[in-house]
A and B are shown apart, each in its own frame.
Chain A
Amino acid sequence: MDIFSFVNFFLLPGVVQGSIYALGAIGITLIYAIMRYGHFAHGDLATFGAFTALFVAGLLGLSPYAALPVAVVVAALLAIAIDWLFYAHLRRMPKIITTIASFGVALMLRSVVQIIWGVDTTSYTRGISRPENWFGIRVKPHELVTLLVVIGLVIALHLFLTRNKWGKAMRAMSDNPDLALLSGIDNNKVIAMTWVIAGGLCAASGFFLGLNTELRSLMGWNILLPTFAAAILGGVGRIEGAIVGGLVVGVTEELSVLVIPSEYKMLSSFAILLVVLLLRPTGLFRGKIL
């Protein structure tokens, strides 16, 4: 196999897929860090975001890219609403109860998508977009956009967490909740902020997943396992870890067909998860162990 086909058919799809996982994994890792439970409705929230973008684009006749910000806002608001309706009153209970509640929310979101948009496979754009050839490297325009937007979002998030007052409050909350509370940080606002970020990124991940392939009602549930694997591989609570974790999981999945039968391709993220839990439960970036 020459270097170009390796890059074109294994590395590049892996990186695109990985950055989609990374967007989801950032949300999961933030929720873990600040609220300390695994959020299993994340995949289905991504599905909802993707379909919202489809709906908005169709309604206003916009290009799907223009619909993305709307979908991000809608999903962010929805995430706050879900927290307020279903999770807020469970905060004093053991965290695992909220995890169970999030399974129920996943189910509800999925059936809402299926009731409103049905179960047919759809896509944002009609037609075929042939990749452009850059000195032998073949990139499709929407792949390039995916990578650029993901990089942009990550930089924005990083600036927010390091420069903004609320971003700093979130980090404080993640590092030491008691100290954060004592120093007067408003718990509820930080939680709302976390949901806005997690929900928005989640919608973006669903959108890009739909943009690079098709939209299906189960698309989000199917990326839940790799997304969690990415978050745990990176180290729970570590944003940079979630990004690296996402990329590693994405590329590994694509490379796995070289060594294992492709029927078992889906299991490569699971294998990564097991190896991390066995050998280095703190993840690559020394995250928390919950």
Chain B
Amino acid sequence: MKLKSLGLAAWLLGTCALATPALAQVNIGLLAGITGGAAAMAPEIIKSYEFAVKQVNDQGGILNGQKLVGNVADSGCKPQVAADAATKLVNVSRVIGIAGPMCSGALLAAANSATIPAGVLLISPAATSPEITTLKDNDLVFRTVPSDEYQGQALARTLLSRGTQTVAVSFINNDYGKGIAAAFKKEFEAKGGKITAFAGHEESKSSYRSDLAELAKGGADTLVLLDYGDTSGLTILREAIENGFFKNFVGAEGMKTSAPIKAFGAENLSTFIASAPIPAKSQALDIFNAAFSKAGGDVNGSYVAPSFDAVFLLALAIEKAGGDKTKLPQSLRAVTSGKGEPIMPGEWKKAKELIAAGKEIDYKGASGSVNFDERGDVPGSYGLFKVSGSDYEVITEMK
């Protein structure tokens, strides 16, 4: 037995040594929950990651014309899978930075057991749990998506300012739904709104009509549905519209996907609005949307803009740090300080030249300001959207 495991260790060591990449490329990890609970979002996120990698390589590559290689790995939306994948990325693929993972539990495990001890920079585009804010991360964990805390509050204020005083709240019982619902409730009630019903639900039940009947009892005609638009959120929205439980529906960025439009048609979604951590109007977003849809991406895919930003920022930080792993966090802060020549999404060549010339640059994210605070969070700017045709259209900016 012992001999066997020794032999095994030797074999593994051998494979790892062989797998060490050649020096003509720079490796980064692209983690996404390809399998598991959030798998429906993964394809577009990966497309967005790889779109960013392609833009870097098409415009002269990274550092001295080296190729940026994105190693896609599955975080499974599960802590064990994510920790395993991150360990492989860090130690076998030998990446110097990672974009992802998507789920907060997966991020906590991957960061704690692999990337933080290894000193590898990690930028998540979709993990929104407030727990990540307080992680002891040696300044190695960042995210391009704001914490749920902010979005829940912003949504509450926006609804009140639009004259909605009474709502029922239904949230998916996971870290995302629970976090954002709690923040919403606190802010909404503090500012004088009334919540008639507040209930969580499990995903993947096939009928939620009894849940909806309970929620509708209090007499609110607006349902705040904090869920994902391609899983149980879709079912609930369908059943609520079909049975006329509520008149108006409000979602957050999890609901703002193409799935409801595809499933119900825009004509049935005239009273559906959703918030998203996307600025109501920004030149950076327009540039990204145009380029990404030209490349065959779905600009309404969940978290595609933050995903692009995560990879693009990683590349900028690597360029700025000259490929030195230990300097990545400070370089990342340097390219997002808010000072210097603005860089739009996709302007890799310009950024590269400016960095080479020793000038300050400031990246303008497609997902809004990516000026990180001292804990690696972004402040977040939000827009409120409604359905128009087969697409979402901005109604107003959220504060």
A123-165 CB contacts (< 8 Å) to partner B: 123, 126-131, 138, 140
Chain A residue nearest to B217 in the complex (CB)? A1
Which B residues lie within 8 Å of A128 (CB)? 238, 241-242, 264-265, 268
Distance A17 CA – B200 CA, assembled complex (angstroms): 21
Contacts A213-B206, A219-B204 given; does A126 touch B265 at CB 8 Å: yes
Extra A-B contacts (16), CB below 8 Å, given A214-B234, A262-B199: A9-B210, A16-B207, A119-B35, A120-B230, A121-B231, A128-B268, A216-B204, A223-B206, A254-B210, A257-B214, A258-B210, A262-B200, A262-B211, A263-B202, A266-B202, A266-B205
B27 → chain A closest CB, angstroms: 27
Do B263 and A212 touch across chains, with their CB atoms under 8 A apart? Answer: no
B202-259 CB contacts (< 8 Å) to partner A: 202, 204-207, 209-214, 217, 230-231, 234-235, 238, 241-243, 259
Which A residues lie within 8 Å of B265 (CB)? 126-128
B interface, by DSSP: helix, strand, loop or mixed? helix
Partner of A219, one of B206, B211, B212, B262: B206
Chain A residue nearest to B214 in the complex (CB)? A257
Partner of B243, one of A138, A218, A253, A258: A138
Contacts A121-B230, A127-B265 given; does A254 touch B209 at CB 8 Å: yes
Which B residues lie within 8 Å of A8 (CB)? 209, 243
Which B residues lie within 8 Å of A266 (CB)? 202, 205
Distance A86 CA – B39 CA, assembled complex (angstroms): 30
A209 within 8 A of B: yes
Do B202 and A13 touch across chains, with their CB atoms under 8 A apart? Answer: no
B201 within 8 A of A: yes
Do B209 and A13 touch across chains, with their CB atoms under 8 A apart? Answer: yes
Do B209 and A121 touch across chains, with their CB atoms under 8 A apart? Answer: no
Chain B interfacial positions (CB closer than 8 Å to A): 35, 39-40, 43, 173, 199-202, 204-207, 209-214, 217, 230-231, 234-235, 238, 241-243, 259, 262-265, 268
Which B residues lie within 8 Å of A118 (CB)? 43
A261 within 8 A of B: yes
A126 → chain B closest CB, angstroms: 6
Partner of B210, one of A10, A140, A213: A10
A209 → chain B closest CB, angstroms: 6
A63 within 8 A of B: no
Do A121 and B259 touch across chains, with their CB atoms under 8 A apart? Answer: yes
Do B231 and A216 touch across chains, with their CB atoms under 8 A apart? Answer: yes
Do A257 and B211 touch across chains, with their CB atoms under 8 A apart? Answer: yes
Which B residues lie within 8 Å of A213 (CB)? 206-207, 235, 238
Distance A213 CA – B237 CA, assembled complex (angstroms): 11
Do B210 and A257 touch across chains, with their CB atoms under 8 A apart? Answer: yes
A232-262 CB contacts (< 8 Å) to partner B: 253-255, 257-258, 261-262
Partner of B234, one of A20, A121, A140, A263: A121
Q: List 27 A-B contacts (CB under 8 A).
A: A5-B213, A8-B209, A8-B243, A9-B212, A9-B243, A13-B207, A13-B209, A114-B35, A119-B35, A119-B39, A119-B40, A121-B231, A126-B265, A128-B268, A129-B242, A130-B242, A212-B206, A212-B207, A213-B238, A216-B231, A222-B205, A257-B210, A258-B214, A262-B199, A262-B200, A265-B202, A265-B205
Distance A138 CA – B265 CA, assembled complex (angstroms): 22
A47 → chain B closest CB, angstroms: 12
Q: Which residue among A209, A216, A254, A255 has the maximum number of chain B CB atoms within 10 Å of its CB?
A: A216
A57 → chain B closest CB, angstroms: 16
Which A residues lie within 8 Å of B214 (CB)? 257-258, 262
Chain B residue nearest to A128 in the complex (CB)? B268
Distance A214 CA – B43 CA, assembled complex (angstroms): 19
Do B231 and A17 touch across chains, with their CB atoms under 8 A apart? Answer: no
Contacts A9-B213, A119-B39 given; does A131 touch B243 at CB 8 Å: yes
Which A residues lie within 8 Å of B243 (CB)? 8-9, 131, 138
Partner of A255, one of B202, B207, B210, B241: B210
Which A residues lie within 8 Å of B213 (CB)? 1, 5, 9-10
Which A residues lie within 8 Å of B268 (CB)? 127-128
Distance A13 CA – B238 CA, assembled complex (angstroms): 14
Distance A211 CA – B282 CA, assembled complex (angstroms): 41
